Amino acid sequence: MRVNGSTLDMDYGTRRKRRETIKNILISLSAIRDAEQNYLENVPENFQNSESFEIGEAAVDTLDDIIGLLADVY
């Protein structure tokens, strides 16, 4: 199959490798997200309104979004 002059025909092995790569990325990103979430859950209450804490929360939210998007293509 050709679309806009580029070949989109992937054999089974290529698709399998791509899916395996995405799976490994999902596992890694999930581990990073879980570690960051665990860190945030253990931050003392008096630091939970800090800029650092807010950045951590944003990182967890962003990782959740990325994991969701990658899961959609997996």
Place of tokens 């800029």: 51
CA atoms within 13 A on the CB side of 62: 8
Q: What angle do the packed helices 51-73 and 12-41 form, to 10 degrees? A: 160
Give per-residue pLDDT as tens, 1-43: 445 555 555 688 899 999 999 999 999 999 999 999 999 999 9
**Phi-psi region at 4: left, alpha or beta (left = phi > 0; alpha = psi -120 to 50):** left
Task: Give the model's pLDDT for residue 66.
Answer: 97
Higher pLDDT, 56 or 4: 56
Q: Which two tokens stand for residue 17?
A: 């490798």
